[in-house]
Amino acid sequence: MALECVEHRRHQNFVAALLEGAGDRIFAFGASHSSLPVQDIVYRAGGLMLINPLYGPGIEALTTGPTTLGSQMEQMPGYGEVLFNNSPLKEGDVLIDVSVSGCNAVPVELARAARENGVFMVGLTSHKYTDAVTSRVPDGTKLKDHADIVIDNRVDAGDVVLSLDGVPQKFAPASGVTSTAILHSLPAGIIEKLLEEGFSAPVFLAANLDGGAEWNAKYMAENADRIFYLNEALLWL
């Protein structure tokens, strides 16, 4: 399923549009469980060094107590604009915004504020899911309404894929797998496209390999103007 979502020609077109339409500062955001795929592509062996996470108090998956707080926080109108106003985002940057349902206030309002201020918006969501639910944003919009490019992770409404007689509801969530696979494919495509254009992208070497730490320190220093996760105050808003 994940491979179908990013089949080669469409994926290459997306990467080309991303690189052409935006600058070289890349950020990614997800609230609640949608933050987990984002975390998996940041500071990652084999990954692009230039992917910067945007965090916010109370909305990261399983980092607050009670655990239900994150779900309530991502529905709170106004918080998305607060996150944008306190972020390093500026005109020409790229923001990858992950929201499977695409209806909650925080990811939607963050996307709206970012796009209104000249940020190139990529929305990773599910068309089936978002079309089946009501927006929780006062203006009635959804993530797909504020994205320059929308990527569909193709999960069903409710983010579940299996059913059994005797079990009253469907089960087995799939978006964590599909969204993570899609997000990992994007830096891979960026690295390939940059090479075609004559540029070498900074890629992490596994720190557990001999020389890995030294390699990473060298290239992070060379790209310090595009790496923001080394400055915690800028990202933990």
Tens of pLDDT, residues 79-136 = 999 999 999 999 989 999 999 999 999 999 999 999 999 999 999 999 999 999 999 9
Whether the Cβ atoms of residue 163 and residue 170 lie closer than 8 Å to each other: yes
**What count of Cα atoms within 13 Å lies in the side-chain half-sphere of residue 78?**
0
Residue 128 has which token pair?
């089936």
- Residue ranges making up the domain that contains 41: 2-235
Whether the Cβ atoms of residue 144 and residue 123 lie closer than 8 Å to each other: yes
Whether the Cβ atoms of residue 53 and residue 43 lie closer than 8 Å to each other: no
Instruction: Please give the full DSSP string across 87-156, using - where no structure is assigned.
Output: S---TT-EEEEE-SS---HHHHHHHHHHHHTT-EEEEEE-HHHHHTS---STT---GGGG-SEEEE--PP
State residue 9's pLDDT score: 44
Whether the Cβ atoms of residue 182 and residue 3 lie closer than 8 Å to each other: no
State residue 237's pLDDT score: 52
Length of the chain in terms of residues written: 237
Number of H helices, E strands in the chain: 10, 5
State residue 5's pLDDT score: 43
Q: Which backbone phi and psi does 144 adopt, to 5 degrees?
A: -60, -20
Enclosing H/E stretch for 188: helix 175-196
State residue 18's pLDDT score: 57
State residue 60's pLDDT score: 82
Neighbouring-strand partners of residue 98 = 30, 124
State residue 44's pLDDT score: 93
Enclosing H/E stretch for 219: helix 212-222
The C-alpha atoms of residue 158 and residue 142 are separated, in whole angstroms, by 16
Q: Which amino acid is at 43?
A: Y
Closest CA to 69 of 58, 83, 79: 58
Q: Residue 203 maps to which CATH number?
A: 3.40.50.10490
Neighbours of 141 (CB within 10 A): 16
List, for residues 181-233, the tens digit of each pLDDT value: 999 998 888 888 888 888 888 999 999 999 999 999 999 999 998 899 887 55
Cβ partners under 8 Å of residue 34, min gap 6: 61, 98, 99, 100, 107, 175, 179
Pairing label, strands 94-98, 120-125: parallel
Whether the Cβ atoms of residue 183 and residue 21 lie closer than 8 Å to each other: no
State residue 193's pLDDT score: 83
Domain count for the chain = 1
State residue 154's pLDDT score: 92
Indicate the pTM of the whole model. 0.89
List, for residues 136-187, the tens digit of each pLDDT value: 999 999 999 999 999 999 999 999 999 999 999 999 999 999 999 999 998 8
List, for residues 5-62, the tens digit of each pLDDT value: 444 445 555 565 555 544 568 999 999 999 999 999 999 999 999 999 998 888 887 7
